[in-house]
Amino acid sequence: MAGKEKDMSKVKQMLRLHHNGVSNRQIAKDLSVNKETVNRYVKLAKLDELSITDLLKLDDPVLQHRMNGGSPSYPEGERFDDFKKKLSYFEDEMKRPHVTLKLLWEEYIAEHPKGYGLTQFRYHYRQHTKAKRPVSSSLLKDLYTPGEKLMIDYAGDRLEYVDRETGEIVKVQVFVACMPATDYGFAIAVRSQRSEDFIHALAMCLGSLGGVPKIVVSDNLKAAVVKTDPHEPKINRILEDMANHYGFVVIPARSGKPKDKSLVENQVKIVYNRVYAQLRNQKFYSLEELNKAIGRRCRHITVSVCSNILTRAKSSL
């Protein structure tokens, strides 16, 4: 396979999406990996005597052996860095008459014999040029499948409570989530944005929903995404392990693309108006007490959302 062998947690995300009926092309787009990589692992999974469901239950080292046979990895970071340094040169050369990507690849591979093959060369170059194009507006509204996605983020402003023992005011972060198909929202206060608090908040959210979505769309916070990259973002391993345990896929919002998580940002505004503002004159003396109040206000929001949905449904009959 061209490129390094994937972490098995990433491979499990690919196989889970395939098992859910998502096309290989869409999986590659959603997980920011090369389509040929997805094709390879899906093909290997189909050839394996175990079903995809059984493969997903294997420990990572066991799956690694079945998928790759313990083959050594290639220093992908080094190769991509070399390619990235030449991107501006490739762009300038492509503006010249009669120059093709294949010609540039032939020159590139002569200089870097262990570099990308022609397919990956074209893919990375086109991804780069596509990322620089201005985004055209569209009049079509995104259509969401109920229960498919959960969008998550943190509110920018913090809430607070008073420590009973010291009298100190303790500032806390507020985790916000929403199901885009129904606008069902959830909020909980946690002590920080550290991984352990983030995972706790997400687990509480899933418990409140009473189920698990197929996809979690996260912001690029450190607890979710270790390294942002337009081609291959690196998901926090703790979150990936949680995703594989619960059976969902993590797809981070693209950096600089607010529309990817616009509905949860709108949910944050709702939480500001209907939670923060409503609780502004109240004092709380523990995180648990604060979260009980947040929960009561969120239930009011849910009732209001359900009422609006029923009203719209009746008016359409």
If 0-12 CB within 10 Å is exposed, 13-18 middle and 19+ buried, where does residue 27 land? buried
Confidence of residue 160 (pLDDT cuts 50, 70, 90): very high
Distance CA 242, CA 273 (A): 32
**Residues near 193 by beta carbon (within 8 Å), at least 6 away in sequence:** 154, 173, 221, 222, 223
Residues in the chain: 317
Residue 195 is encoded by which pair of tokens?
């991984």
Mean pLDDT within 125-133: 77
**Looking at this protein, which amino acid is placed at residue 15?**
L
Closest Cα partner for 226 from 59, 149, 218?
A: 218
Parallel, antiparallel, or unpaired for β 249-252 and 215-218? parallel
- Tell me, what DSSP letter sits at residue 5? P
Confidence of residue 107 (pLDDT cuts 50, 70, 90): very high
Confidence of residue 124 (pLDDT cuts 50, 70, 90): confident
Say which residue the tokens 């985004």 belong to: 135
Query: Vertex 263, ends 259 and 268: CA angle to 5°?
Result: 120
* 102 compared with 225, residue with greater pLDDT: 102
- Tell me, what DSSP letter sits at residue 252? E
CATH of domain 149-316: 3.30.420.10
- In the predicted model, is pLDDT for residue 258 greater than 70? no
Residue ranges of the domains in the chain?
A: 8-68, 76-132, 149-316
pLDDT given at position 284? 93
Whether residue 264 contacts residue 153, with contact meaning beta carbons closer than 8 Å, is answered with yes
Determine if the pTM surpasses 0.85. Answer: no
Going from the C-alpha of 215 to that of each of 106, 186, 246, the distances in angstroms are 40, 16, 11
Whether residue 217 contacts residue 253, with contact meaning beta carbons closer than 8 Å, is answered with yes
Residue 170 is encoded by which pair of tokens?
């303790």
- Per the prediction, the chain carries an average pLDDT of 80
Mean pLDDT within 301-313: 57
* 120 compared with 2, residue with greater pLDDT: 120
3 state DSSP class of 135 = coil
